[in-house]
Structure 1
Amino acid sequence: MRKPGKLFGSVRARATLGASLVVALALVAAGAAVLLSLRTNLTDQAGSRADSAARKVASQLVAGRPYDDLDLPDDEDSPVQVVDDKGRLVAASDDLQKISGTGVDAVKPVPARSARPSPASGKGHGGGEGADEKEEAGDSGDDEPGESGDELGEVDDETTYTDGTATVDGESADFRFAAVEVSTEARGDLTVHAGGSLSSRQSAVSTALTAMLIGFPLLLAVVAGVTWLVTRRALRPVAAITDEMAAITASEDLARRVPEPDTHDEIAGLARTTNETLAALQTSVERQRRFVADASHELRSPIASLRTQLEVGAAHPELLDVDGAVEDTVRLQGLAADLLLLARLDAGEKPGGAPVDLAAFVREELSQRTRDRVEVHADLKSCEVVGSRAQLARVLGNLVNNAQRHARSRVTVTTRNDGAWAVLEVADDGSGVPADERERIFERFVRLDDARTRDEGGAGLGLAIARDVAVRHGGTLVVHEAPSGGALFELRLPSPQSSAE
């Protein structure tokens, strides 16, 4: 059973948690936007209903209809107040018991006799002092202000909205109030407040919120479940790779390979890269094993020869071959030095950074050679490289020694510049190297002439060392056919002058 810490630390758990978190944030944002839009839309609808009701009443006031004869909405969804310019309530919906949000808390209209007299007729709503004065002046006084239908006025185009509450016939609710200004000649400036119920808004928002609170967790559960299953399926090849790598580690069998899924995604790329790494590691280990085996084999011959000579010399001093013992010792010392250099190169030893004039360097190294079997000719042009003089000396010595072993009568060493490269060439007039063997000769312990004796042919490490040193210096070492028909080894190293330019 997987431990909780490992479970929640897995890629699958993190992917599921991340996907769920992203979806949750998206749902919350979308839900908030939907609720806000729904609330705003329903509020606007309530405001529109309130504005329509207010303007219907306002049109009646402009037409001169008396306050007590106004056709006011009689339902609970549209309470109406009519207020004069002194803030007195002159008309209101029936059964209006309480109101807030309009600026006028009164719910019962002011009696008609105390209402403002009509400037035009001198008579207030429902009769009063203005009527008496008009009767004294000889008028009949039978008409209310504006009953004749000749009152003029204007309804303001702008509407002011506020939110509040109202109690109508014992039912309290929230409303969106619309305030419309009315200017009349007979009754002055009036304000009509009409309300639009917000109960539908509250009901819709509550229903939507309840649906979201129920639906969102279910949707999140579905997303988490699907993500968990999909991620498990996607990561199944990774588990197979992990198990196989663990088996390879336990068995130390580098010939095994991890399974590669039949896909073209990143996991398939990981499997291919892992197999390529295993193949390279297997090659490296096998190469190392062959190297140790070949080194042991090469060391055994001079050691055995030296031991034999020393044993014979100990038993019969007069038969001791001192020159042969010295020669075997020198060969053994050279082989040990080659092996040590290869070990350092394999360990990643970097060459030094000292500038070297290649022409002067080659001239100095050739002048120190003695007892060469074949004469060495030099055609040297000045060119500079950066690297280790000791390692470059080993490369030059190995190439010249190899050329002398195969040359008939002449070995030529040249140096020159070729663009960004400094070039060192060693050519001989021997039989050359077959085209299909020109890469194999740079492998360790490889000797093409199997009939050649070890003393003449060496251990087969010289060219391998030369190429490794060239690569460590950022260059190349290849073999071509020389103009004389023999082998031409071409060493290319970066030129610091070209790099600086």
Structure 2
Amino acid sequence: MPILSRPGSVRARCTLIAALFAMSVLVVLGATVDLAIRWRVQSDAYSQAERVASQWSPVARDGYVPQPIPANEPVDLIQVVDARHRVVKSSRAASATEPLSMLRPPPDARFQPRTECMRGRCILLQAIRLSPAPDAAVVYAGIPEPDLLATHDLEYAVVAGTALFTGLAAWTAWVLVGRALGPVEAIRSRISQITVSDLSMRVPVPRGNDEITRLATTANHTLSQLEGAVEQLRQFASTTSHELRTPIAGLRTQLEEALLYPEDVDPQQALRSALATAGRLEAIVNDLLLLARLRAADPSPPERIDLGELVAAEVRAQGGSVPARVHAPRGLEIRGSRMQLIRVLDNLLTNAQRHAESLVEVSVEPADDGVAVTVADDGPGIPPAHRERVFERFVRLDEGRRRDPGGSGLGLAISRDIAHSHHGTLTAEDSPRGARFVLWLPLVSGGPTHRPATGL
């Protein structure tokens, strides 16, 4: 059977629970019905016997009882028995010598119901004492025990009905749970077909707005995110391989030339060139390691940082050939990693110093329940079409390659990842002249809601 073949399945467990619940209810209901029917039949039999006995008791008290006593179905067992248990009068169906019962009701309780069984036969009778006198006779009126009470047919019927309805409840639960879990099985089957090499498949979404529909929708959304993440990882691996291949190939060429043509190649110059290439490789690898750490959880707990004080300190520490004008009020506190934020500020200030013509402006202002750090220069600026591309890994515009040939192309990508890890943003915004980067971070507590001015 399906239930026995898969005892651990949700469908089997739900069916078993439904069957046990139905059986429990039906057993209680069946027992109640059985007892109620038995009590009703027995009560009706006693009532009929009492009615017939009550009819003959005054007649017997006056001594006018005929022989045999007339009787009708179903109460056809009638006797008048004296104090010595001798049958005085009886109906045709009752014995003329043996009393129906040896019961003599006491004077203070003249009406007594009784069930008498002898020779495998039971009788439901009513005994009525004619008077409180010691020698008063007793009238017995009895009815043979109905078959419903004499046999267990009623119990058999209750058991059969309980089994039938329990099986029906189990079958209904099996079918309904199977239909309800059909979409889950379809989702499981589809997920089992999805592999890392092909994440384009999606699970079927059933109709409606129930839990299974929302589960399928969430699963598809997760698969979409996973597919995007895997695709980004592939692109990142491909781009990283390409970026590392060029300096490695150059380094190999320089070393081979130094070995093959020792007379034509200056060893000192070859070593300096190789060391510069190794330095660029080291910078790329370090930036890649930092990106990997940013993707993982930061083991160090965040700390409260006065962002204005931190910005002012970094501008002073960096110096630079181009003067910097700073507006960084204190009191604007954020929560985060000091070393990571120093890395962001260092990247932004280095870029601004590299491209500025005469001035770098840095400001710290409250904005939208947070604080915005703006770093602007008066250099050539970034074309609007490339303002998002500069945050991609290994993307370097022509102007950047010209001014810093040894850069890794990961500084702004790392800076944006750090901003996101602090629940903030880093964007390149419009500026009357030059480039303008805005770092927004949430304050520890709510702050002003006005945005900083877009111009400088």
- State TM-score, norm by structure 2: 0.74
- The equivalent residue for 1:245 is 191
- The equivalent residue for 1:32 is 31
Say yes or no: does 1:104 pair with 2:104: yes
- Of all paired residues, the percent bearing the same amino acid is 36
Match of 1:287 among 222, 232, 238: 232
- The equivalent residue for 1:300 is 245
- Please give the residue correspondences for 1:447-458 in structure 2 after superposition, counting only pairs within 5 Å: 447=396, 449=397, 452-453=400-401, 456=404, 458=407
Tell me, in whole angstroms, the C-alpha distance in 1 between the residues paired with 2:411 and 2:104. 110
Say yes or no: does 1:175 pair with 2:121: no
1:284 aligned counterpart, secondary structure: helix
- The equivalent residue for 1:120 is none
Match of 1:65 among 54, 62, 85: 62
CA gap 1:451/1:432 in 2 versus in 1, 3 angstroms = closer
Deviation at 1:80? 5.3
Aligned amino acid, residue 74 of structure 1: A
- The equivalent residue for 2:284 is 335
- The equivalent residue for 2:149 is 202
Say yes or no: does 1:254 pair with 2:251: no
Rg larger in 1 or in 2? 1
Aligned amino acid, residue 77 of structure 1: V
Tell me, in whole angstroms, the C-alpha distance in 2 between the residues paired with 1:305 and 1:370. 33
Tell which deviates more after alignment, 340-349 or 437-446: 437-446
Deviation at 1:87? 9.8
Tell which deviates more after alignment, 370-379 or 285-294: 370-379
CA gap 1:68/1:359 in 2 versus in 1, 3 angstroms = same
Give a deviation string over 1:99-154, Cα, whole Å, max 9, x none: 45x8439xxxxxxxxxx9xxxxxxxxxxxxxxxxxxxxxxxxxxxxxxxxxxxxxx
Tell me, in whole angstroms, the C-alpha distance in 1 between the residues paired with 2:189 and 2:179. 16
CA contact (8 A) 1:237 1:267 kept: yes
CA contact (8 A) 2:322 2:356 kept: no
1:275 aligned counterpart, secondary structure: helix
CA contact (8 A) 2:148 2:154 kept: no
Tell me, in whole angstroms, the C-alpha distance in 1 between the residues paired with 2:342 and 2:5. 57
Tell me, in whole angstroms, the C-alpha distance in 2 between the residues paired with 1:327 and 1:246. 50
CA contact (8 A) 1:79 1:92 kept: no
CA contact (8 A) 1:351 1:472 kept: no
- Please give the residue correspondences for 1:113-192 in structure 2 after superposition, counting only pairs within 5 Å: 162-165=113-116, 172-175=121-124, 177=126
Aligned amino acid, residue 202 of structure 1: L
CA gap 1:209/1:479 in 2 versus in 1, 3 angstroms = farther
Tell me, in whole angstroms, the C-alpha distance in 2 between the residues paired with 1:486 and 1:160. 114
Tell which deviates more after alignment, 239-248 or 475-484: 475-484
- The equivalent residue for 1:74 is 71
CA contact (8 A) 2:374 2:436 kept: no
Aligned amino acid, residue 165 of structure 1: E
Tell me, in whole angstroms, the C-alpha distance in 2 between the residues paired with 1:373 and 1:299. 32
Tell me how large the CA RMSD over aligned residues is: 4.6
Aligned amino acid, residue 242 of structure 1: R
- The equivalent residue for 1:371 is 320
- The equivalent residue for 2:360 is 411
Deviation at 1:48? 2.5
Aligned amino acid, residue 39 of structure 2: T
- The equivalent residue for 1:347 is 296
Deviation at 1:492? 0.9
1:380 aligned counterpart, secondary structure: coil
Deviation at 1:341? 0.9
Aligned amino acid, residue 395 of structure 1: V
Tell me, in whole angstroms, the C-alpha distance in 2 between the residues paired with 1:450 and 1:160. 119
Tell me, in whole angstroms, the C-alpha distance in 2 between the residues paired with 1:176 and 1:467. 99
CA contact (8 A) 2:80 2:140 kept: yes
Tell me, in whole angstroms, the C-alpha distance in 2 between the residues paired with 1:436 and 1:67. 126
Deviation at 1:343? 0.8
CA gap 1:270/1:450 in 2 versus in 1, 3 angstroms = farther
Tell which deviates more after alignment, 308-317 or 344-353: 308-317
- The equivalent residue for 2:439 is 490
Deviation at 1:392? 1.5
Deviation at 1:281? 1.9
Tell me, in whole angstroms, the C-alpha distance in 1 between the residues paired with 2:268 and 2:215. 66
1:279 aligned counterpart, secondary structure: helix
